[in-house]
Amino acid sequence: MPTHESAGQGSATVDHLAPDLARTMYRHMRTARDLDTEAVALQRQGVFPAYVSVRGQEAAQVAAATALDPSRDFVFPTYREMAVALAYGVEMVGYMATHRALWHGGLYDAMESRFGAINAVVGGPVPHAVGWAVGERLRGGEGVALACFGDGASSEGDVHEAMNFAGVYGAPVVFFCQNNRWALSVPNERQVAGGSVAARAAGYGMPGVAVDGNDAGAVHRAVSEAAERARRGEGPTLVEALTYRVEPHSTSDDSARYRDEAEAERWRRHRDPVDLMRRALIEAGYAGEAELDRIDAEARARAEEIRDGVSTAPEPDGSELFTHVYRETTQELARQRRIWQEEVRL
């Protein structure tokens, strides 16, 4: 498996995947790549105040999503899971509305989608996932929670507490760490003691698996096995997908200030997950160039459709600031609303 220090030639494994599934995964990866490009452009145009790119992590995200069952499982995302949302079937205009700052957590239905609200708290989705998973087991359900986090979040107390809790109670959780090498501006070697997030799993009584995060087939296998293990009542698993963040942390970041951009370029050129998946499909005989070109064109059109939808989506009424704060309103909230209404009338 290529390490973070080596961005040499690699490959994707698809032989264990059904051809239809492999092609679907490629379609999602290609759509996510194009939508990511559109989203960065929308930020540059002032439509989005900020955006966090998923470029280079499409394989890990799409593979994890397609390894789950949307009818019973539940995903708890960070702010960088756009490709997970896309592959999981989330309504994407509503999802992308968060990046336009139309609504906290998105305009999609989190309960219907079984995909939690976008969470910008570092490590924040992980205890939420464990709490849901414990509740799912107590009610006798067969659902599994996917807890998304990055290598930087793996150093947060919330993540350690959640893993320990899940290990003690045997919660049906897949802890899914996308180790993209950079915790914003801090590299792995300066914030992950021992160099491995997966190795920490042993301390919480669960298996830890490290996989090539740019190999969609490898990630799909690891997450599928972890989900089935949880479904059988055998407890949580930690999956570490080793990948690389080729773009800055966000559109507000200048990654050239803290890393050698030549390294990112090597990953772009030699370890691009979309290119690896395309080559694997051809080599396995799952698709030819003409079919993949058609999928590329359809993916591009879909990304443009989502872009146009979120660009023209109407802004919610300002009164919605007060509608989902508490189950029952309070006197203080009512007072704040009256003040807001008076200021709006001015």
Residues 189 and 288 in one domain: yes
What is the spatial distance between Cα 189 and Cα 196, in angstroms, rounded to a whole number?
Answer: 9
- 145-150 and 173-179 as β-strands: parallel, antiparallel, unpaired? parallel
Residues 295 and 322 in one domain: no
pLDDT tens string, the chain, 346 residues long: the values are: 333 444 445 689 999 999 999 999 999 999 999 999 999 999 999 999 999 999 999 999 999 999 999 999 999 999 999 999 999 999 999 999 999 988 877 889 999 999 999 999 999 999 999 999 999 999 999 999 999 999 999 999 999 999 999 999 999 999 999 999 999 899 999 989 888 999 999 999 999 999 999 999 999 999 999 999 999 999 999 999 999 999 999 999 999 999 999 999 999 999 999 999 999 999 999 999 999 999 999 999 999 999 999 999 998 888 888 888 898 999 999 999 999 999 887 6
Residue 9 lies in a domain: no
Query: How many structural domains does the chain have?
Result: 2
The rounded radius of gyration (Å) of the Cα atoms in the chain is 20
| pLDDT for the residue numbered 6 | 45
Round to the nearest angstrom and report the end-to-end CA distance of the chain: 63
What is the spatial distance between Cα 252 and Cα 123, in angstroms, rounded to a whole number?
Answer: 20
pTM (predicted TM-score)? 0.92
| 307-333: pLDDT as tens digits | 999 999 998 888 888 888 898 999 999
| pLDDT for the residue numbered 346 | 64
DSSP 20-68: HHHHHHHHHHHHHHHHHHHHHHHHHTTSSS-----TT-HHHHHHHHHTS
Scanning the structure block, which residue is given the tokens 């955006």?
51
Residue 117 lies in a domain: yes
Residues 264 and 327 in one domain: no
Residue 322 lies in a domain: yes
Give residues with Cβ within 8 angstroms of 258, minimum separation 6. Answer: 185
Residues 63 and 34 in one domain: yes
Residues 53 and 104 in one domain: yes
Residues 254 and 145 in one domain: yes
- 208-212 and 237-242 as β-strands: parallel, antiparallel, unpaired? parallel
- Closest to 41 measured CA to CA, from 265, 267, 311: 311
Residue 190 lies in a domain: yes
Burial class (CB in 10 A: 0-12, 13-18, 19+), 63: buried
Residue 1 lies in a domain: no
Residues 137 and 173 in one domain: yes
The one-character DSSP state at 225 is H
Q: Enter the tokens of residue 292.
A: 């993949």
Residues 322 and 206 in one domain: no
Helix or strand or coil: residue 327? coil
Residues 256 and 146 in one domain: yes
Residues 283 and 345 in one domain: no
Residues 328 and 296 in one domain: no
Residues 257 and 337 in one domain: no
Residue 5 lies in a domain: no
Give residues with Cβ within 8 angstroms of 181, minimum separation 6. Answer: 4, 151, 187, 188, 243, 244, 245
- 173-179 and 237-242 as β-strands: parallel, antiparallel, unpaired? parallel
Residue 281 structural domain:
19-315
| pLDDT for the residue numbered 97 | 93
| 27-45: pLDDT as tens digits | 999 999 999 999 999 999 9
The sign of the torsion formed by the CA atoms of 103, 249, 114, 303 equals positive
Residue 147's CATH number: 3.40.50.970
Q: Strand pairing partners for 147?
A: 76, 175
Do the Cβ atoms of 10 and 214 come closer than 8 Å? yes
| pLDDT for the residue numbered 106 | 82
Residue 4 lies in a domain: no
Residue 7 lies in a domain: no
